[in-house]
Amino acid sequence: MRKVTLIPGDGVGPEIAKAVQSIFAAAKAPVAWDICQAGQAGIDQAGEPLPEATLASIRANGLAFKGPLTTQIGKGYRSINVTLRQTFDLYCNLRPVKSLAGIGSRYEGVDLVIFRENTEDLYAGVEHKVGADAAESIKIITRKASLRIAEAAFTYAVKHSRKKVTAVHKANIMKLSDGLFLECAREVAARYPQITYEEVIVDNMCMQLVIRPQSYDVLLAPNLYGDIISDLCAGLAGGLGVVPGANIGTECAIFEAVHGTAPDIAGKNIVNPVAMLLSGLMLLEHIGETAIAGRIRAVVERVIAEGKTVTPDIGGTASTVEMTEAIIKLL
Ligand code: ATP
Ligand code: MG
């Protein structure tokens, strides 16, 4: 049994966390949940959005599975997601985007994996006002962070028999910062001659992804472009309800659905559990339980392809619990 910190989270979080817990139990996934709170649930239970007990659990287990969290705006709290990333140095944001048969999206055969640098770029939070009528945000790109995200992308490509890594940039304009990012990507690419390496400017990348997303394989990007193309790619494959993600560091990894707390549908038993479930399967793969992950994945794909017991966001009429039960029955 592998101990994993489970943070059900806010909004729809508890509903999708429960769905995954029961599916994992039915599949006999060797995971023991250590249930902790954060976000609004953390404030309610322990008086703070990121209680020390939760951090200690993640630190001890090195693995967390997390629902979406509410960050109270204007109450002096930093974003919990950002705090987690910084605390555990989760430098790699990994998002696989794969077409699922039966989902009425515009594209078929999309199979992309995005590696987004997660610690710097314009997200370092270094900004200031310049007088009353101007402001500056500083874009920070370092060799260390660029090399390790490139290394993560190429290592993954080799391990998962991927063929190509595409670096996304705007080095024609930001010659120094994006130029350094590319220099690092090239340095790593040279060590992996079996993987094709190419570079695409971010604006062109957006157009290419919309025209023929099937031409791309692994995408490697600094933080800002990675953020934007990640959501663009989620839209190519059926939207927020079906896209998983992970934030990975050297000592710790946190798996989570990419969507937010979806307060508009919370508590209504209609949230799609698939994004959270696929994130859970990434966790299983991460700990080497690929057979169980593959078995669950095949069942989920079948339930979605049949389309009889799916949630409203992907065209069905089933509730979260009904969809979960349909998956469990097939398992
Ligand atoms: P937050 O402020 O936490 O980001 P949000 O309101 O932006 O919350 P998102 O989760 O980002 O909510 O969702 C945007 C829209 O997509 C909402 O209308 C939401 O209901 C829908 N949505 C998100 N995730 C799912 C899901 N898993 N199943 C069904 N609909 C979803
Ligand atoms: Mg949102």
Looking at the DSSP bridge assignments, the partners of residue 98 are 111
The catalytic residue among 203, 231, 268, 308 is 203
- For the stretch 71-91, pLDDT in tens is 777 666 778 888 899 899 999
The percent of residues above 90 in pLDDT, for the chain, comes to 90
Domain count, the chain: 2
Question: Helix or strand or coil: residue 255?
Answer: strand
223-236 helix and 202-211 helix, angle to the nearest 10 degrees: 10
Residue ending a domain, choose from 236, 252, 275: 236
Q: How confident is the model at residue 228 (pLDDT cuts 50, 70, 90)?
A: very high
| Residue range of the domain that includes 214 | 106-236
Per-residue b/e over 18-54, b at no fewer than 16 CB within 10 Å? bbbbbbbebbebebebbebbbbbbbbeebeebbbeeb
Q: Specify whether 120 is located in the same domain as 84.
A: no
Q: Is 34 an annotated catalytic residue?
A: no
Q: Is 123 an annotated catalytic residue?
A: yes
Question: Helix or strand or coil: residue 5?
Answer: strand
- For the stretch 108-162, pLDDT in tens is 999 999 999 999 999 888 899 999 999 999 999 999 999 999 999 999 999 999 9
Q: Specify whether 49 is located in the same domain as 159.
A: no
Model pLDDT, residue 81: 86
Q: Specify whether 114 is located in the same domain as 216.
A: yes
Tell me, in angstroms, the distance from the centre of ligand 1 to residue 256's CA: 14
Of 293, 128, 110, whose CA–CA distance to 209 is shortest?
Answer: 110
Q: Whose CA is nearest to atom 9 of ligand 1?
A: 260
Q: Specify whether 137 is located in the same domain as 212.
A: yes
Say how many C-beta atoms besides its own lie within 10 A of residue 161's C-beta. 6
Residue ending a domain, choose from 186, 215, 236: 236
Q: Is 227 an annotated catalytic residue?
A: yes
Residue ending a domain, choose from 236, 251, 280: 236
Q: How confident is the model at residue 106 (pLDDT cuts 50, 70, 90)?
A: confident
- For the stretch 40-51, pLDDT in tens is 999 999 999 999
Give the position, in ligand 1's atom list, of the atom nearest the Cα of 260: 10
The verdict on ipTM greater than 0.90 is yes
CA separation (Å) from 55 to 87, 89, 90, 211? 9, 13, 14, 43
Asked whether the beta carbons of 219 and 110 are under 8 A apart, the reply is no
Of 40, 72, 259, the one to substitute when testing ligand 1's pocket (max ligand atoms within 8 A of C-beta) is 259
Tell me, in angstroms, the distance from the centre of ligand 1 to residue 16's CA: 12
Tell me, in angstroms, the distance from the centre of ligand 1 to residue 184's CA: 36
Phi, psi of 133 (to 5 degrees): -120, 20
The percent of residues above 70 in pLDDT, for the chain, comes to 99
